[in-house]
Amino acid sequence: MGPFEVTFSAWEMDLTEAGGDTGEESWGDLLAAAQCGDGNAYRRLLTAATPFIRALARRRVHADDVVEDVVQEVLLTVHRVRHTYEPGRPVEPWLAAITSRRSIDALRRSSRVGARELHNPVAYETFAAPAANNIEASESAKTLARLMEELPPRQKEALELTKLREMSLAEASAASGQSVSSLKVNVHRAIKRLRVEAGKDQLE
Amino acid sequence: MIDRKTDALINDLSADAAPVKRLATPLMRAFATLAGLALFGLVAILLLPHADPLAMRGAGGEMQAGIELVAALLTGTLAVIAAFHVAIPGRSRGWLAVPLPALALWLGLSGLGCWRDIVRSGTSGWELGHSMDCLVFIVTASLVLGVPLAWRLSRAAPIDPLPVAALGGLGIAALSAFLLQFFHPFAVTFLDLAVHVVAVLIVMALASLLRRPMLRPA
């Protein structure tokens, strides 16, 4: 090991804290065996090293699904560059460098996506189904229905028949038994009262 | 806890664990590559016409020029060695600094020579001597020498190709500048030096731009 082999930068400072090679089976030996084509050793190494890789990835990337993507990309990269490991050297700095690189790639990718795409679920729903999601309109319809319930019965009946069911005054008179002139008066009073109540409601 | 997809990936990868040819140590690979490049340079010196053999100049006592030459060779050699180290995951970033003292010596001595040139011959030190020829020589030689170097470096599929490309570019440009001294009249003007620096920067920029196709990073 030469004078330039002390490699730890701040984030790699304590690789053992991330759960490095704990000694049951030396990762270096497993990786050296994997280089010679030992699939079992390779599987044991990757399984043992995955929590370590995941812990390192978590220091840079915070979203869980992205962390798992990074872990998988690290495993693929390990597979591609496994011939660069030099037996006898510690595996952790080698793995840490690969994980660091792939984490940075993931962060760059997500910042690129973030710069070009806008995540706004409300805006999305509003544009997709204009009739269903006009939130303000449905709110005011509910308010209006509540206010109508509070109207005196005759005023409510007059309003319903002439305005909601769109009957003529004569039809409404026949249906309700109210005279045409009392219907007119009740509709007028109902609307006036609703206006006052709705105004109060908005002020609250 | 291991994610199911990650688990499946581990199974796939270990099923595909074909034996791989392990890379030799970076130092060994750097020396082998440098030996190849030296052989190439030697052939070029023997085959190409050169008006002004180095030995004659050395005998003429151009001590400083000699040191300058050694500094360029040292810069190139150290940069190439550093590039092979940086290409391996987890090796120290300290390697990036290794060629810098030699680079400073090389450029400093050239600058000093040029300064004396200016003092001695006034503004004629600003004339563009054989500068364009030098620029073309350094860039061309770098391209020719750079291809085998990049091929050797790409064997490591460097995960972070930029520092590898920059160091490789510096190395190959410095070695080309060293080679240039065998074909170059020694009295460099101030602009000649600037042109050397520009040539080194051009080669480093080219190497950095071409890092992906040349180094095939993983």
Rounded to an integer, the average pLDDT of B102-107 is 90
In terms of CA atoms, which chain A residue is nearest residue B155? Answer: A84
Q: How confident is the model at residue A81 (pLDDT cuts 50, 70, 90)?
A: very high
Domain ranges of chain B: 28-214
| pLDDT at residue number A170 | 87
Q: What is the pLDDT of residue A11?
A: 47
Q: What is the pLDDT of residues A32-73, one digit of tens each?
A: 999 999 999 999 999 999 999 999 999 988 888 889 999 999
Mean pLDDT for the stretch of residues B196-216: 90
Inter-residue contact B3 to A71 (CB < 8 Å): yes
Higher local confidence (pLDDT), A116 or A61 = A61
Whole-number Å distance between alpha carbons of A4 and B98: 9
Position A24 pLDDT exceeds 60: yes
Non-local CB neighbours of A58 within 8 Å, separated by 6+ positions? A67
Angstrom distances, CA of residue B51 to CA of A9, B13, B186: 51, 59, 12
Q: Tokens 């810098």 identify what position?
A: B100
Q: Is pLDDT at B66 greater than 50 in this prediction? A: yes
User: Of the ranges A112-116, B49-53, B173-177, B191-195, which is most confident?
Assistant: B173-177
Quote the strand ranges of chain A, DSSP E: none
Would an 8 Å CB–CB cutoff place B156 in contact with chain A?
yes
CA–CA dist A162, B19 (Å, integer): 87
Task: State residue A7's pLDDT score.
Answer: 45
Return the pLDDT at A172.
Answer: 87
> Which chain A residues have a beta carbon less than 8 Å from that of B23?
83-84, 86
Specify the pLDDT at position B185: 58
In B48-183, alpha helices (H) = 54-59, 63-86, 100-121, 131-154, 161-180
Cα separation, A15 vs A164, whole angstroms: 73
Q: Which of A3, A83, A94 sits opposite B22 (nearest CB)?
A: A83
pLDDT at A202 over 90: no
Which residue would you say has higher pLDDT here, B75 or B117?
A: B75
- Residue range A112-131: mean pLDDT, rounded: 65
B93 part of contact set with chain A, CB < 8 Å? yes
Report the half-sphere exposure of A39 (CA within 13 A, side-chain side): 9
Distance from CA of A119 to the nearest CA of B (A): 27
Question: Is the Cβ pair B89, A68 closer than 8 Å?
Answer: no
Whether B14 and chain A come into contact, CB under 8 Å, resolves to yes
* Complex ipTM > 0.85: no
- The more confidently predicted of residues B100 and A203 is B100
pTM of the prediction? Answer: 0.71
How many Cβ atoms sit within 10 Å of the Cβ of residue B29? 21
In the predicted model, is pLDDT for residue A2 greater than 50?
A: no
Judge whether B94 is closer than 8 Å to chain A, CB to CB: yes
Phi, psi of B92 (to 5 degrees): -65, 140
Closest CA to B26 of B102, B78, B101, B62: B78
